[in-house]
């Protein structure tokens, strides 16, 4: 078989980039002769993360349309035309057998041009409520891989395949790690442990809510693994103690999950998928600052199935600490949440998506 040539386009946030890399890794395991080219948005996170994972990337001059009237929007039509022209040049030069989109600005022009040229195309939607790029592409692409049921509300049913979200496998493999995890973080096995994660950039509301509740946690003998992100780290570090461990970033997320009895998290698609695969009881605090408020919809998809608790961002400072204490001390409810969230896990998502890609090529 001649070498398979694959373009993967997407980015802007880790939620679009890490699935793209996971799909590439899964394809590499299934096909010996394969050549990848990633296409991202200039100046965005993917231009650094993709080469770090060992893949080539080219950037398009593209960004999102601002929600309010701003001078940046004047350049938007120019950026779209520029990106469509560059996408055509990339396709002509690289001549891919298939083009994959994982969402974000750059995947729009790339997938649109590929579909118009009759090149097989596939998009992967991470959220329970699709982003605008994937909504616009849905009618043009050949296959749509989704992480939630009921997506025929937004996409043509005949194109849908339920695959789940690709996550970093090393993060969700927790067997036999509970004791080593407690030792790693210097925590006591006799106390309840709450893990707090605000996404890769941290989350101000969650951080402020935890800071406001530290006395309550201390009185209850609860210990914390607290990932703050960079901007809040200096302030939180002054509150660190034997039972409150503060980090700007946690590299061993598998150990953080393994140590935790309860997780407090934003409701980004990849975070939610990791919680399902690790079977962790969780309180989700959706970020209000994301496109189409999709984090609230992700959280509702779990809360409606009694697979997680939801606390609104605007109510978090007042309610989050109290609700976390109530839940971590309620063994029956914790176990029910664990059982229900585990049922929603879809395993080997990257492998399933890779199989769909290869079906299109054949």
Q: How buried is residue 303: exposed, middle or buried, by Cβ count under 10 Å (0-12/13-18/19+)?
A: middle
- CB of 44 within 8 A of CB of 50? no
pLDDT of residue 18: 86
State how far the alpha carbon of 47 is from the alpha carbons of 13, 39, 234, in Å.
Answer: 11, 9, 28
Q: Tell whether the torsion through CA atoms of 360, 127, 349 and 110 is positive or negative.
A: positive
pTM across the whole model? 0.84
Task: Please give the radius of gyration of the chain, using alpha carbons only, rounded to the nearest integer.
Answer: 21
Is 266 a residue whose pLDDT tops 60? Answer: yes
- pLDDT, mean of residues 146-161: 94
CA–centroid distance for 1 within its chain: 34
pLDDT of residue 65: 58
Is 68 a residue whose pLDDT tops 90? Answer: no
pLDDT of residue 16: 85
**HEC readout, 161-210:** EECCCCCCHHHHCCCCCHHHHHHHHCCCCCCCEEEEECCCCCCHHHHHHH
State how far the alpha carbon of 28 is from the alpha carbons of 18, 130, 181, 322, in Å.
Answer: 15, 27, 31, 47
**Encoded tokens for 208:** 């402020």
Is 116 a residue whose pLDDT tops 60? Answer: yes
- CB of 63 within 8 A of CB of 105? yes
Is 66 a residue whose pLDDT tops 60? Answer: no
Is 265 a residue whose pLDDT tops 70? Answer: yes
200 confidence band (pLDDT: 50, 70, 90): low
Which residue matches tokens 């395993």? 347
331 confidence band (pLDDT: 50, 70, 90): very high
């Amino acid at each position: 078989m001649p070498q398979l040539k694959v373009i993967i386009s997407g980015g802007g946030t880790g939620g679009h980039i890490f699935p793209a890399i996971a799909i590439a890794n899964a394809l590499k395991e299934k096909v010996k002769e394969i050549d990848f080219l990633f296409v991202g948005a200039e100046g965005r996170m993917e231009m650094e993360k993709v080469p770090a994972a060992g893949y080539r990337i080219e950037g398009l001059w593209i960004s999102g349309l601002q929600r309010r009237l701003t001078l940046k929007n004047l350049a938007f039509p120019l950026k779209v035309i520029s990106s469509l022209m560059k996408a055509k040049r990339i396709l002509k030069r690289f001549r891919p057998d298939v083009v994959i989109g994982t969402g974000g600005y750059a995947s729009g022009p790339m997938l649109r041009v590929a579909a118009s040229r009759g090149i097989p195309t596939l998009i992967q939607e991470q959220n329970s409520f699709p982003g605008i790029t994937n909504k616009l592409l849905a009618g043009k692409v050949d296959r749509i891989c989704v992480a939630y049921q009921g997506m025929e509300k937004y996409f043509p049913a005949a194109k849908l395949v339920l695959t789940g979200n690709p996550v970093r496998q090393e993060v969700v493999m927790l067997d036999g790690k509970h004791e080593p995890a407690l030792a790693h973080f210097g925590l006591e096995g006799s106390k309840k442990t709450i893990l707090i994660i605000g996404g890769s950039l941290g989350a101000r509301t969650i951080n402020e809510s935890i800071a406001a509740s530290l006395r309550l946690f201390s009185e209850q003998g609860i210990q914390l693994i607290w990932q703050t992100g960079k901007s809040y780290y200096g302030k939180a570090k002054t509150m660190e103690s034997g039972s409150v461990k503060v980090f700007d970033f946690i590299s061993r997320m598998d150990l953080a999950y393994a140590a935790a009895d309860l997780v407090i998290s934003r409701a980004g698609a990849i975070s939610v998928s990791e919680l399902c695969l690790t079977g962790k009881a969780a309180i989700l605090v959706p970020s209000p600052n994301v496109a189409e408020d999709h984090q609230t919809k992700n959280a509702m998809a779990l809360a409606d199935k009694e697979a997680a608790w939801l606390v609104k961002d605007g109510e978090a400072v007042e309610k989050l600490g109290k609700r976390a204490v109530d839940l971590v001390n309620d063994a029956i409810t914790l176990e029910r949440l664990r059982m229900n969230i585990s049922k929603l896990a879809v395993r080997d998502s990257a492998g399933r998506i890779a199989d769909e890609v290869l079906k299109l090529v054949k």
